[in-house]
């Protein structure tokens, strides 16, 4: 069995930090990439309206951010933290796994172009393995758990109904462990984490773990795929 070493390398305060050193696990049969059915329950299509927000977590936020930056109808994506307090929303603290935070992304989208349910369809199809508990691939810890942080009752219903739909259809060979919990707050991550996929395409971690997700999005959802990434300015906190 071939194993790879996956590195997460990024600058911090003029230095280079090496984090997330771990063996890249082989893909399990439960994560064979396939386009999952669309949610039977979704928000009604609208012709125009204000942008909406989805907050999702599933492993390292670099890959989740990269996937949704390539989805048509998405205005911007921000990497950050959800699930814990404001004073612990810092990478070094979140990495301890004791803050309650999960590495998350805030997806601002135009509901006239893409629905919340479609975002969840992409999320479960290509962005993560929803059967892995407190880990994704080479990353382990509660900060890498999969979570749908819903912002209102409609999002909660769409998410819970979709997980039930996928469970009934036996879309995965193991139970889905993705949590569906209310969004309390989202805290943008440090500036060096934003658009990491685009800025560091040769990083071995990106090559082995995240580039395949974007490729799968393009293959499985060609009508949704956009080659240009959407950028958002995020202040370092």
Active site residue 60: yes
Angle of CA points 142, 144, 148, to nearest 5°: 95
Exactly one of 55, 60, 67, 102 is catalytic; name it.
60
Question: Which of 210, 107, 202, 217 has the alpha carbon at shortest distance from 151?
Answer: 107
User: How far apart, in Å, are the Cα atoms of 178 and each of 27, 54, 98, 224?
Assistant: 18, 15, 19, 24
Asked if residues 120 and 148 have their Cβ atoms less than 8 Å apart, the reply is yes
The first and second tokens of residue 170, run together, are 């036996």
Q: How far apart are the first and last CA of the chain?
A: 42
Question: Which of 74, 102, 121 has the alpha carbon at shortest distance from 232?
Answer: 74
Asked if residues 76 and 231 have their Cβ atoms less than 8 Å apart, the reply is yes
User: How far apart, in Å, are the Cα atoms of 193 and each of 114, 142, 209, 212?
Assistant: 26, 19, 16, 19
| Residue 110: partners with Cβ closer than 8 Å, 6 or more residues away | 49, 51, 52, 73, 74, 75
Distance CA 63, CA 6 (A): 14
Residue positions annotated with a catalytic role:
60
């Amino acid at each position: 069995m071939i194993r790879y070493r996956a590195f997460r390398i990024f600058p911090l305060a003029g230095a280079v930090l090496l984090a997330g050193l771990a063996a890249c696990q082989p893909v399990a049969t439960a994560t064979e990439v396939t386009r999952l059915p669309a949610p039977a329950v979704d928000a009604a299509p609208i012709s125009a309206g204000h942008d909406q927000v989805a907050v999702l977590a599933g492993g390292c936020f670099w890959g989740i951010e990269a996937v949704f930056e390539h989805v048509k109808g998405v205005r911007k994506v921000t990497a950050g933290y959800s699930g814990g307090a404001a004073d612990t929303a810092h990478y070094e603290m979140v990495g301890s796994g004791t803050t309650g935070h999960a590495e998350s992304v805030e997806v601002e989208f135009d509901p006239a172009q893409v629905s919340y349910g479609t975002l969840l369809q992409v999320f479960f199809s290509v962005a993560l393995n929803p059967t892995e508990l407190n880990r994704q691939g080479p990353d382990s810890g509660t900060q890498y758990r999969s979570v749908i942080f819903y912002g209102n009752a409609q999002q909660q219903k769409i998410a819970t109904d979709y997980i039930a739909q996928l469970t009934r259809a036996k879309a995965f060979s193991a139970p889905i462990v993705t949590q569906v919990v209310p969004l309390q707050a989202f805290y943008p991550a440090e500036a060096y984490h934003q658009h990491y996929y685009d800025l560091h395409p040769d990083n071995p971690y990106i090559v082995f773990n995240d580039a395949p997700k974007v490729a799968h999005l393009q293959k499985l959802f060609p009508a949704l795929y956009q080659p240009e990434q959407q950028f958002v300015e995020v202040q370092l906190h």
